[in-house]
Amino acid sequence: MTSVSRIPVAVLGATGAVGQAFVRQLADHPWFVLAEVAASERSVGKVYRDAARWLEGTLPADVAGLVVQPCTPDSVRAPIVFSALDSGVAGEVEAAFAQAGRLVLSNAKNFRMHDDVPLVIPEVNGDHLALLARQQELRGWAGAIVTNANCAATVIAAALAPLHEAFTVTKVVAVTMQAVSGAGYPGVPSLDILGNVIPYIGDEEPKIETELGKLLGRYANGTITPAAITVSAHANRVPVEHGHTVCLTVGFERAPSVAEALDVLRAWRGHAGVAGLPSAPASALTVRDEPDRPQPRRDVQEGRGMGVTVGRVRADTLLDLRLVAMAHNVVRGAAGGSVLNAELLVASGVVHRETGALQLGALPGTP
């Protein structure tokens, strides 16, 4: 058997909560090798083990000694760049990398809603990656930017995608219970969150309300037509370490019975080509029958943090159905989702399997 070399990749914002999740997700990855880490001036020039306050598990030895680089395309050379940057800086930095010919997989909000930028959860709308051809045409970048969704929007979109495909979702009320790790590190002060619930997360509700339509929208001829769904979101911070839980009340064009909804959720496999990728969970969705699941403590590690668990599917008194969905915000909702996007691009030939070079001609619909 011939051995295939791994593609060098970099993480921008590598010292933060999501950056560290990238380091864990990329450890021993079969296709990618983490070759460079970058962060703010505060960290530049330090070795990673000194710059990052390592939060979870064992820091991989081959990353511990990497010297933290500035977030510029001259300093960071990898063809694939995972960005865990704060949104205050992500816009300018990610555009500079895309202009310099790199594939940027971003977790920040800056480009998510741009018409020519794919906002992708691979199982839900992997076909939206085709938008990259339009992005290149419009922007003339040698590289490209692909984004993944807000972490709560990710949970909601994954739970609703099968139901939307089958019955057309029209209205959603989403009440979130979001983990503290969603606020980064050091995040929310302990005296604000211990034994408490904070009924406000800055800028979160508008992200949930706008991103869902794009995520569940249809791609055709270089355009996404957003799904016509009215969303009302209540975002709450709760004293949970990892795992965003969302209570959903949903209205449909054709209301399913509870049994029909459960059948559709159980049968859902998601976008073809995702199953079997290195970071893909064994099941795109896990449906629990127990009346008290999903729970972050019991279910957050489903599919090595990449699973989305749903339960409590029942009839509703105001709209049609109620259900609860939960997933790991830092893995499924951030770093793991980004790595899965990159894997899908490699598997579909849009990124060269050995060099990491972009080959946009491999996208469906390109001449």
Q: Which residues bind ligand NAP (CB under 6 A)?
A: 13-19, 39-40, 42-43, 71, 84-87, 89-90, 107-108, 151, 181-182, 184-185, 329-330, 333-334
Q: Is 151 a catalytic residue?
A: yes
CB of residue 91 to ligand NAP, shortest distance in Å: 10
DSSP annotation of 198 reads B
Q: Measure CA 178 to chain center.
A: 15
Residue 125, phi then psi, degrees to nearest 5 = -150, 45
CB of residue 330 to ligand NAP, shortest distance in Å: 4
Q: Which residue is nearest to ligand NAP (CB)?
A: 16
CB of residue 19 to ligand NAP, shortest distance in Å: 5
Nearer to ligand NAP, 136 or 148 (CB): 148
Which among 128, 164, 242, 244 is annotated as catalytic?
A: 244
Beta strands in the chain (DSSP E): 7-12, 32-39, 69-70, 80-83, 103-106, 144-147, 169-177, 218-220, 223-225, 230-234, 244-252, 285-287, 308-315, 321-327
Pairing of the two strands 244-252 and 321-327: antiparallel
Nearer to ligand NAP, 103 or 155 (CB): 155
Nearer to ligand NAP, 14 or 347 (CB): 14
Q: Is 234 a catalytic residue?
A: no
CB of residue 344 to ligand NAP, shortest distance in Å: 18
Nearer to ligand NAP, 108 or 306 (CB): 108
Report how far residue 240's alpha carbon sits from residue 310's, in angstroms, rounded to the nearest whole number.
18
Nearer to ligand NAP, 186 or 365 (CB): 186
CB of residue 45 to ligand NAP, shortest distance in Å: 11
Task: Please name the helix (run of DSSP H) or strand (run of DSSP E) that holds residue 24, with its range, or none.
Answer: helix 17-26
Coil, helix or strand at residue 252? strand
Query: Can you give 114-176 as a three-state secondary structure string?
Result: CCCCCECCHHHHHHHHHHHHHHHHHHCCCCEEEECCCHHHHHHHHHHHHHHHHHCEEEEEEEE
Which among 151, 242, 271, 328 is annotated as catalytic?
A: 151
Residues assigned a catalytic role? 151, 244
